Structure 1
Amino acid sequence: MARAWGLARQRRGSEMSGIDEHDLEVMRRSPLFSRLSADQARTLVSPSTPRAYAKGTVLFQQGDAADCFYVVLDGVVKIARHLPDGDEVVIGVVGPGATVAEVAMFIGGRYPATAEIVADARLLPVRSSHFRAALRDNADLAMGLLAATAQRVHALVQELEHIKSQTSAQRVADFLVGLCPGLQGTDVEIELPYEKGLIAARLGMTPESFSRALRRLRQLGVRIRRDHVFIPSVELLNHFAMSGEDGGPPGGT
């Protein structure tokens, strides 16, 4: 676990112009809004205006009153719990289409974690009071909230299963496969979405374990230069992530 250095609150993001069609498209990637039409989504968030946040901005701190949640339109947000001994546990790193802290409105009205911008971002804040009022009148929105919550629970179950059943190298391989557009590509080059130290924390390992895992993946031809990763066979890497075996899948060459 990474040591928390006592995040100081940054100023609120600067207000931008209203949402556009691309923003609505990004919003509707989330299970929370996927059941809504474009017009319904626009009406729901019409009182809100996107804001720009610089890297390092703290959106809210653990224990703050949950007066709003956020839709990520662009950029990356880290969500972390701060423990009494000062350690930080990264419980999520999310990008465009994700929602941040919508469940906090229903579990005591306090944010259960701290959210920090780790790559310059555009977010749409949605007031808790406005959203709760909309829930009472819109069954599709209520179903979307249930779907978003179920998806989070499913992801957590999968993550716990991976931590228990996969080696560090397998977890890194699984993460890299998730960044690829498909499972059949060869000679694929991808860009890491955020810093290696944060990737390590998100995968529940130390930076040293992460470095050892990358060295292990070199045996599969995986190469990393700065923030770019070269993968000679996505299928082979996926097979390793699932089985821990270096060889290709049955019937493969």
Structure 2
Amino acid sequence: MSRVLQFEATQRSLATPMLFASLDPALRAELVAGSRQRVFADEQIIQQRGDPGDSFWLIEEGAVRIGQFLPDGDFRAVALLGGGDSYGELAVFAGKPRIVDAIARGESRLRLITAGAFLEALARYPASNRALLGALSAQLQDALSLLSGLRRGTNPQRLAGLLATLAGDGVGGATVTITQQELADLLGVTRATANAALGELERRKLVERGYGTIEVPERERLAVFALG
């Protein structure tokens, strides 16, 4: 089995299950074996809006920021994905151009899986179609929940929820490697607002700020605070 398939996504901003991870292990191994690996330097553009949706990406190592470039050239991230995550499958299914930009966060290794190879292999694994439908449904539910969450809760609560997700599913503490600008982008607020929210969490001893990192002493307490 490919080493890629043993990875678990770490420190990503979404609780949403990735579509690739829902596939049959044998199908995943087949797709990885037939894929092409590419290495991207930190901040290198991986894809841009308008690119053909003729393939999708599997993150083997490193991390990828998903979002959009603004007219002034700044990048506004909406999601941070880690090793084992995949993205771009929806463009493949829709047969439409990509609607997001993606850039590497640190040196990252990705595999490019073409639409033809994916759809052809998927036809030989009918059970994976049901699994994909379940993953797609979960993604839609999470998207609706996110939209609802944007309308409620204070900024510290929303930040707490984001950091709890980034901290993973483990019990106890965790270290989240992320910048304040990235936090601001993911929350959809200014850096000053994100900094103020982070300060409130630190005052409550829910987090500890470091250089480019945030220590989460107890993920459970952070998650409880996020719920209000």
Shorter-chain TM-score range? 0.7 to 0.9
Query: Which residue is equivalent to 1:97?
Result: 84
Alpha-carbon contact 1:30-1:148 (below 8 Å) kept: yes
Counterpart Cα distance in 2 of 1:132 and 1:91: 28
Query: Which residue is equivalent to 1:229?
Result: 214
Q: How does 1:1-253 map to 2 (within 5 A)?
A: 21-26=2-7, 30-37=18-25, 39-82=26-69, 89-180=76-167, 185=172, 188=173, 190-221=174-205, 222-243=207-228
TM-score, normalised on structure 1?
0.76
**How far off is 1:120 after superposition?**
1.5
TM-score, normalised on structure 2?
0.83
User: How big is each residue's C-alpha offset from its partner over 1:190-229, in whole Å with a ceiling of 9 and x where there is no partner?
Assistant: 3323322112101211111100001111221132021333
**How far off is 1:182 after superposition?**
5.3
Residue type matched to 1:32 in 2?
F
Counterpart Cα distance in 1 of 2:52 and 2:23: 28
SS of 1:117's equivalent in the other structure is strand
Alpha-carbon contact 1:51-1:124 (below 8 Å) kept: yes
Residue type matched to 2:5 in 1?
L
Counterpart Cα distance in 2 of 1:42 and 1:123: 15
Q: Which runs of 5+ in 1 are unaligned?
A: 1-19, 244-253
Q: Which runs of 5+ in 2 are unaligned?
A: 10-16
Seen in structure 2, the aligned counterparts of structure 1 residues 143 and 27 have a Cα distance that, compared at 3 Å, is: farther
Counterpart Cα distance in 2 of 1:104 and 1:127: 11
**How far off is 1:174 after superposition?**
1.3
Percent identity of equivalent pairs: 25
Query: Which residue is equivalent to 1:5?
Result: none
**How far off is 1:44 after superposition?**
2.8
SS of 1:50's equivalent in the other structure is strand
Total equivalences in the alignment: 220
Query: Which residue is equivalent to 2:14?
Result: none
**How far off is 1:164 after superposition?**
1.1
Counterpart Cα distance in 2 of 1:27 and 1:124: 16
**How far off is 1:117 after superposition?**
0.9
Seen in structure 2, the aligned counterparts of structure 1 residues 133 and 184 have a Cα distance that, compared at 3 Å, is: closer
Counterpart Cα distance in 2 of 1:24 and 1:184: 24
Alpha-carbon contact 1:220-1:237 (below 8 Å) kept: no
Residue type matched to 1:204 in 2?
G
SS of 2:177's equivalent in the other structure is coil
What is the CA RMSD across the aligned residues, in angstroms?
2.6
User: How big is each residue's C-alpha offset from its partner over 1:12-43, in whole Å with a ceiling of 9 and x where there is no partner?
Assistant: xxxxxxxx632122389844343413x33222
Alpha-carbon contact 2:175-2:215 (below 8 Å) kept: no
Residue type matched to 1:237 in 2?
L
Query: Quick check: 213-222 or 225-234, which moved more?
Result: 225-234
